[in-house]
Chain A
Amino acid sequence: MKTTASTQAIGPAQKGEVLAIVARHKDQPGPLIEILHDVQRAFGYVPAEAVPLIAGALNLSRAEVHGVVTFYHYFSGAPQGRSVLRLCRAEACQSMNGRALERHAMKKLGIGFGETTADGGVTLEAVYCLGLCACSPAAMIDEEVHGRVTPERLDELIQGAGAGAGK
């Protein structure tokens, strides 16, 4: 779970939304991860206050739900940037100068993996394979994929993502 931004408290309306999500999945077998995906889709992260609500509704302990949220790299316990840039760190991308691209991204954004820029524009995440290994190095911004990414191309992508940041 990433804790680079402060966690905002959620209000009664959002708590209702969490419970509605739980209700939607409750009759599915083993629904917890499906629920967490929907919560993260709705809020952009899994708010700490959602954990006891989900636990109560599924008859699980808070520790069990917390344990699941923190086990999976994809779930975030804190709000993420307006765009999430996922850079592939796996071997195929490394063979095509992926390491240099990682360093370039960190320098350009002034943050490390798992961190969000001060203006809340971009969160940088490491990812281990996007399945784009024949066009390495690869990156994904939100759900948009990019192959054979050069440092110059990455700058354009970051600028494009930052354009929505209103700075």
Chain B
Amino acid sequence: MTVNVWVPQDAGALALGAEATAQKLLAAAQATGTSIRLRRNGSRGLYWLEPLVEVECAEGRIAYGPVTARDVPSLIEKGLLKGGAHPLRLGPIDQHPWFKSQQRLTFARVGQIDPLELNDYLAQGGFRGLQRALEIGGTATVTEVVESGLRGRGGAAFPTGIKWQTVLKQPPGQRYIACNADEGDSGTFSDRMLMEGDPFSVIEGMIIAGVAVGATQGYIYLRVEYPHAHRTMAAAITAARKAGFLGDRVCGSKHAFDIELRLGAGAYICGEETSMLESLEGRRGEIRVRPPLPAEKGLFGAPTVVNNVVTLATVPVVLAGGAAHYRDFGQAKSRGTLPLQLAGNVRRGGLIERAFGLTVRELLYDYGGGSASGRPIRAVQIGGPLGAYLPESQFDTPLEYEALSAIGAMLGHGGVVAFDDTVDMLEMAKYAMEFCAIESCGKCTPCRIGSVRGAEALGNISRGINPQGNLALVTELCDTMLQASLCGLGGMAPYPVLSAMKHFHEDFRPRAPAN
């Protein structure tokens, strides 16, 4: 009998040695004369347990982890292929408390299926959302997305359905769907996990968007730092085309839709939607002044739906289960589920998808298990390099749009990065300005010059040069950047700086010169 053994092909698992583990498993099984079928999945997002090996047994998929190549011989000896006992045995993976307590809608299949096996996708509800969209038609599909309360998960949190409505209302003509896969925020990896673990869900979401607003062409703008996601996405597009989900007649309907995968070239600013459109058109990623909105005049001047990977991959969930089902998760104006990414200095980092409402503290301690270093967690940054730093006194804030906004923070793309008490918040503030300077597109002065001068002034505080004067200068610069920048890069880079100054004021003092 052949035993199915799953080893993730997710970049995070590979970065921890999953490929060597897989090869060793094949060799070791062969040596014992057991026939195994090595299957590759995405990651379930329990990264401290990667490489996570799963063996299909009568009682379900039995997990072992973290399994390095070195552990394989002893595991095989102890009967891994029969789900045998071993210190690394975690039991049935779907019963693991970290996994079981989640509410996975967008990530329902990630880690469970072979990402490129179309039959796996179909067997687990794939393309049911598209089927429904084709049945109810474009306008009703848009209404469904509006009613679901889904907001853009890329960071701006704009209501997805409203954006689609705007595109739908434009005069007839060419329209586009642009999938923003330029996931550049530090501490975020949900787009990557989806593209590597369930690429058909992204494709299905794009097709539904196309059917809904009458677009026939989609583009995925994928960052070059994600070569694994690129390979998986490219193969999935080819497979979807071959199976008739993409092409002149989507699923035999009158709708045409196809997708082209484009690669970015290492510019953070291209995650900003208008900059991304410029880049897709083959130009420098300099942002465009709004209005007009991309929904009115976007890619190549045509009305364009620009949505993030997670948003688009959630659309099939909304259509398949209905708007009300999705909306019933979450609270107030934060509806549905949120795939949080817990990263940095935590013991148990990874992907946690739950209905909105979990507090920072629950995330850090119940899921994260505290810091990796064992020291107290002093600060967390939420929402990437442009997100505010929160001190311990704010850890009871729920992770949802309005609650974070009320304390001057933002959820962004849902990344949470923890720092222990060795962090130097003056350095982090200076880094925020440096990063802005490196990645600024240069179009507007507050961002281009403000960031350089901000980093300089913060450096001067560290060196003991007129600390009070420079603190005042940074505050003033931040105000200018907040008020006068053209886009979110210069307009939000002050958040980490000002929050660090406010909550960790004791760090903003001269230092002894570095050795």
Interface residues in chain A, defined as those with a beta carbon under 8 Å from any beta carbon in chain B = 28-34, 36-37, 64, 67-68, 71-75, 86, 90-96, 127-136, 138, 140, 143, 145-148
Contacts and interface: CB of A to CB of B under 8 A. Distances in A.
A30 B265 contact: no
Contact of A90 (B12, B15, B385): B385
Contacts of B224: 37, 74
B344 A133 contact: yes
Contact of A91 (B186, B267, B342, B439): B186
Given A32-B282, A33-B262, A131-B191, 9 more contacts: A34-B262, A68-B282, A90-B187, A95-B418, A128-B438, A131-B225, A134-B48, A135-B12, A135-B16
B15 A147 contact: yes
B7 to A, nearest CB: 16
Given A29-B281, A34-B262, A128-B435, A136 B344 contact: yes
25 contacts: A28-B260, A29-B281, A33-B263, A34-B282, A68-B284, A71-B284, A72-B264, A73-B267, A74-B264, A91-B186, A91-B428, A91-B431, A92-B417, A93-B186, A95-B420, A127-B225, A131-B188, A131-B226, A133-B188, A134-B343, A134-B351, A135-B16, A140-B225, A145-B11, A147-B16
Interface string B76-91: 0000000000000000
Nearest to A29: B300
Given A91-B187, A91-B428, A92-B186, A33 B279 contact: yes
B349 A135 contact: yes
B285 A91 contact: no
Contacts of B438: 128
A107 B226 CA distance: 28
Contacts of B372: 96
Nearest to A138: B15
Interface string B496-510: 000000000000000
Contacts of B418: 95
Closest 10 CB pairs of A and B: A90-B186, A134-B349, A32-B282, A74-B266, A133-B343, A72-B265, A147-B15, A95-B344, A134-B47, A30-B282
A61 to B, nearest CB: 12
A28 B262 CA distance: 11
Given A91-B344, A127-B225, A131-B11, A73 B280 contact: no
Interface string B324-351: 0000000000000000011111000111
Interface of B: 11-12, 14-16, 45, 47-48, 50, 183-189, 191-192, 224-228, 260, 262-268, 279-285, 300, 341-345, 349-351, 372, 381, 385, 415, 417-420, 423, 428, 431, 435, 438-439, 441
B189 A134 contact: yes
A100 to B, nearest CB: 11
Contacts of B420: 95
B345 A95 contact: yes
B186 A129 contact: yes
A148 B19 CA distance: 16
Nearest to B19: A144
A48 B45 CA distance: 44
B196 to A, nearest CB: 9
A129 B184 CA distance: 6
A76 to B, nearest CB: 10
A135 B186 CA distance: 12
Contact of B342 (A72, A130, A134, A140): A134
B455 to A, nearest CB: 14
Given A74-B265, A91-B428, A127-B266, A132 B285 contact: no
Pick from A30, A33, A74, A91 the residue with the most CB of B within 10 Å.
A91
Contacts of A91: 186-187, 344, 381, 385, 417, 428, 431
Contacts of A67: 284
Given A67-B284, A73-B265, A131-B189, A92 B279 contact: no
Contacts of B185: 129
Given A30-B300, A129-B184, A131-B189, A94 B225 contact: no
A30 B281 contact: yes
